[in-house]
């Protein structure tokens, strides 16, 4: 199977590198000519990966049609707000059966849908063999450095998912099969929101006790939302749930944690939101989950607090105190 990667950012490069290490043919599409030249000439992308070297078999181009013509499977590795426009671009040149592999973690801000639903809605279904998502705890740089990483191939099409599982798996990158699409997408998206909260607490000067409490209660909020979409509770105890949540809430390698930290340091979100030039998926997710919660009468104190900070511009330190001073109750799973 030939793999095309749409997106020359960190995760697209990391997944391409795994495939190249496994002697699979892979071709990357990137919009930025300088990035494409750097990948082809120096086997790096310093913007996203510093000096980390890529497999020399990886090739890149600015011509999306070249990649589509080459590929049997297309990996979509772009920020979630760009997924629809990318799929529409793919449709212009698609003239053969294709497998779509989604690597974007987030929910559509306009429809509140997961990426598999978004892709299915917009792709030319005359040529679609199946959609799979690769989700789970994995920072791109560490994948390229061959740190042991475990993720899930998420799909209802087990036959194609098994093929993807075999093509990607090796002695440092292990892929499990998972068929709970809604659960995996909700967990993978909401962990970004909780990671922003974790960063805010760190920036405000709180320590490890606070982080442990946040992750635990955050997982409960993820599960509450999952139940609305008939997700399996076991999914949230796995790689696309607690695994991804722990990773993203604990390090400055996470854009979402780092964004939260900057907000916490200033005790204000306005400056960050006005000056930020990078995609922070959790910011979009917070709005989507807030709207889902209101529609379904869900009590999600962490998401509510994040919405107040990021969309109502409330002072983070005061919001934290308000959350802590809510009426006392028993600890419950739900």
Sequence-distant contacts of 279-282: CB under 8 A, at least 24 apart = 279/79, 279/81, 279/255, 280/192, 280/196, 280/255, 280/256, 281/79, 281/80, 281/105, 281/106, 281/189, 281/192, 281/255, 281/256, 282/192, 282/193, 282/194, 282/195, 282/196, 282/256
Strand blocks (E) in the chain: 3-6, 26-29, 59-61, 73-76, 98-102, 128-135, 149-154, 173-178
What span, in angstroms and rounded, lies between the C-alpha atoms of 334 and 156?
28
What span, in angstroms and rounded, lies between the C-alpha atoms of 299 and 290?
10
Is beta strand 98-102 parallel, antiparallel or unpaired with respect to 73-76?
parallel
Q: Which of 105, 191, 232, 287 is an active site residue?
A: 191
Q: Pick from 189, 180, 287, 183: which is nearest to 228 by CA?
A: 183
- Contact, 76 vs 102, CB < 8 A? yes
How far CA 27 is from CA of 64, 93, 220, 259, in Å, comes to 10, 16, 40, 32
What span, in angstroms and rounded, lies between the C-alpha atoms of 218 and 195?
9
Interhelix angle 83-93/115-122, rounded to 10 degrees, is 30
191 has catalytic annotation: yes
Q: Which residues are catalytic?
A: 191
């Amino acid at each position: 199977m030939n793999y095309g990667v749409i997106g020359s950012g960190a995760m697209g490069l990391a997944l391409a590198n795994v495939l190249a290490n496994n002697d699979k043919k892979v071709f990357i599409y990137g919009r930025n000519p300088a990035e494409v030249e750097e990948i082809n000439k120096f086997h790096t992308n310093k913007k996203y990966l510093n000096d980390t070297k890529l497999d020399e078999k990886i090739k890149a181009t600015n011509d999306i049609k070249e990649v589509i013509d080459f590929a049997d499977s297309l990996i979509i590795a772009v920020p979630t707000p760009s997924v629809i426009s990318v799929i529409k671009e793919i449709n212009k040149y698609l003239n053969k059966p294709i497998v779509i592999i989604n690597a974007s973690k987030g929910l559509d801000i306009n429809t509140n849908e997961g990426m598999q639903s978004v892709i299915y809605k917009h792709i030319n279904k005359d040529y679609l063999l199946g959609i799979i998502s690769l989700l789970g705890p994995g920072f791109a740089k560490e994948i390229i450095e061959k740190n042991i990483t475990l993720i899930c191939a998420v799909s209802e099409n087990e036959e194609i998912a098994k093929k993807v599982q075999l093509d990607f798996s090796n002695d440092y990158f292990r892929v499990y099969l998972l068929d709970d699409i809604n659960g995996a997408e909700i967990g993978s998206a909401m962990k970004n929101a909780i990671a922003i909260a974790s960063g805010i607490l760190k920036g405000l000067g709180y320590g490890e006790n606070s982080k442990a409490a946040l992750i635990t209660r955050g997982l409960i909020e993820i599960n509450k939302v999952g139940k609305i979409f008939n997700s399996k509770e076991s999914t949230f105890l796995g790689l696309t749930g607690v695994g991804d949540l722990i990773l993203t809430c604990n390090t400055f390698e996470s854009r979402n944690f780092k964004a939260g930290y900057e907000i916490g340091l200033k005790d204000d979100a306005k400056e960050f939101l006005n000056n930020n030039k990078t995609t922070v998926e959790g910011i979009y997710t917070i709005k989507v989950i807030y709207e889902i919660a209101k529609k379904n009468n869900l009590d999600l104190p962490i998401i509510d607090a994040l919405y107040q900070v990021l969309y109502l511009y409330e002072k983070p330190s005061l919001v934290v105190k308000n959350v802590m001073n809510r009426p006392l109750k028993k600890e419950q799973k739900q």
